[in-house]
Amino acid sequence: MNDTLDIPADIARAVISPKAYAEDAPVHEAFAWLRANNPLGKATVEGIYPFWIVTRHADILEISRQNELFRSGEMPTTFTTIEGDQIVRKMTGGSPHLLRTLVQMDAPDHAKYRVLTQSWFLPQNIRKLEDRIRQIARAHVDHMASLGGECDFVNDVALTFPLRVILEILGVPPSDEPRMLRLTQELFGAADAELNRSRAETGDAAANLGELQAVVADFFMYFKTITDARKAAPGADLATVIANGKIDGAPINDFEAMSYYVIVATAGHDTTSSSTAGAVWGMCQFPEAFAKVKADPSLIPGLIDEAIRWVTPVKHFMRSATADTEVGGRAIAKGDWLWLAYPSGNRDEAVFEAPAAFRPERSPNRHLAFGYGAHLCLGQHLAKMEMRILFEELMPRLKSLEFAGPATRAEANFVGGPKRLPIRYQMA
Ligand code: HEM
């Protein structure tokens, strides 16, 4: 490790560039360089508040674990420019967040809101959904079989499968699925000209944020109808739990209930579809992985974990320090902003042997794609259950699998993964 704190400008640019994630190699090369030379260094980029980039597995865990010392509420939880931050604060009257969801909350509020739905997400509760999820999975596998041996696995299977599951959980009817898919992509793909609302290259922070605000307003309008319906006639779904939730004995307010729907609808969808597509991408790129899982279906849970590690669909979350402290030998000052580089932690050579390889048999697989500490992904059991069921349905029928054209990734430095995955296959 060198002694200088400063990260070279080209390396910092690769870490924050949505395009570098689409190309994949530049960002992983930048992370490998950082882990070897400056694992917790300071990035100074024009137009952006100075920030630390945390690249080692151990340091990411260390920071995530101390959620009082490293908080989520005071600074933007996802990366933005100074101009972007100022625009949001102007729009919100001072808050750096357009939404108020669990990921933007700290103690004491965070626990109060998390507990509302925590038990709903526990394995013993979501197990009840297994039969219904299997029906949805089977329909997707049947659809894939009907496509004549070639498809774009992202658009034909991976996008709609977790979307249908999460929307059922939220009580959204199938007819509104395209609208929800569009809104989620617009929210996360604001920088990707093919996914954002105006379908434009967006270098302009004000235009990007204006678009995002309109997307959020659409989400809110949509979920307001659902909240009103669940208040009038409660059911057994998650939407009912949220709509009728109480905080400190008082009913949850509309803004916070809407924010809750938005986080579940968005967090539960693109992440899972990217990981699902990543499992197929991994088996195309590493045919021996496909052969191993075919030969031994007990490797399916390993396939799932490896796909989530390999893709790491959540590229970062930010934290800010509430006091002067030290991590990884670096003095962090009160107010400092930190980028937790999950894809880097998940390729840390100190934890993973041959980290760039795709190995369903990897065990243990201590990836940190779901984060760690108080904000540890609420939907992790659901995500893994959905993926397990899909591959339990798919693998026995899949006789062969290969790329059928160039696969591409989304341009996204927050949530992203495969965007197109043309495959050729034989199915029973
Ligand atoms: C492979 C799929 C998924 C990945 C990789 C993933 C990743 C993450 C990460 C990295 C965090 C932040 C953790 C932190 O700050 O320490 C998170 C939080 C969260 N995730 Fe997931 N997620 C996935 C699927 C889901 C699903 C299916 C749902 C819900 C249906 C969900 C709901 C949430 C919620 C509500 C939070 C906020 C928790 C909190 O702040 O307390 N996620 N997820």
What is the residue-wise DSSP string for 55-101? -SHHHHHHHHH-TTTEESSSS-SS---HHHHHHHHHHHTS-S-SS--
Out of 169, 261, 377, mutate this one to test ligand 1's pocket (max ligand atoms within 8 Å of CB): namely: 377
Query: Measured from the CB, is residue 267 less than 6 Å from ligand 1?
Result: yes
- Give the pLDDT band of residue 1 (cuts 50, 70, 90): very low
Name the DSSP class of 352. Answer: S
Torsion of CA 377, 188, 77, 254, to 10 degrees: -80
55, 136, 342, 426 from 28: Cα distances, Å = 11, 35, 11, 33
**Is 273 touching ligand 1 by the criterion CB < 6 Å?**
no
Asked whether 114 lines ligand 1 (CB < 6 A), one says yes
pLDDT band at 261 (very low <50, low <70, confident <90, very high): confident
The response to whether residue 369 sits with its C-beta less than 6 Å from ligand 1 reads yes
Here the tokens at position 39 are: 């694992």
Whether the CB of 275 sits within 6 Å of ligand 1: yes
**pLDDT at residue 52 tops 90:** yes
pTM of the model: 0.94
Q: What percent of the chain has pLDDT over 90?
A: 77
Q: In sequence order, what E strands does 199-263 have?
A: 246-247, 250-251
pLDDT in tens, 215-251: 888 888 888 888 899 999 998 889 999 999 999 999 9
361-389 mean pLDDT: 98
Q: What is the DSSP letter of 32?
A: H
Q: Is 51 in the pocket of ligand 1 (CB under 6 A)?
A: no
Closest protein CA for atom 39 of ligand 1: 375
196 band by pLDDT with thresholds 50, 70 and 90? low
Ligand 1 centroid distance, CA of 252 (Å): 21
pLDDT digits (tens, 9 = 90+) for 287-314: 999 999 999 999 999 999 999 999 999 9
Taking only the tens place, the pLDDT of each residue in 246-259 is 999 999 988 888 88
| pLDDT over threshold 70, residue 411 | yes
CA 112 – ligand 1 centroid, Å: 17
Residue 215: per-residue pLDDT: 85
Read off φ and ψ for residue 376, nearest 5 degrees. -40, 135
Q: What is the pLDDT of residue 187?
A: 75
**Residue 64 Cβ < 6 Å to ligand 1:** yes
Query: If 0-12 CB within 10 Å is exposed, 13-18 middle and 19+ buried, where does residue 403 land?
Result: middle
User: Does the structure show a pLDDT above 60 at 109?
Assistant: yes
**pLDDT band at residue 148 under the 50/70/90 scheme:** very high
What percent of the chain has a predicted confidence (pLDDT) above 70?
A: 95
Give residue 259's pLDDT: 85
Lookup result for tokens 């299997």: 134
**Residue 35 scores a pLDDT above 80:** yes
Q: Is the dihedral of CA 347, 350, 351, 356 positive or negative?
A: positive
Q: 116 is written with which tokens? A: 């509302």
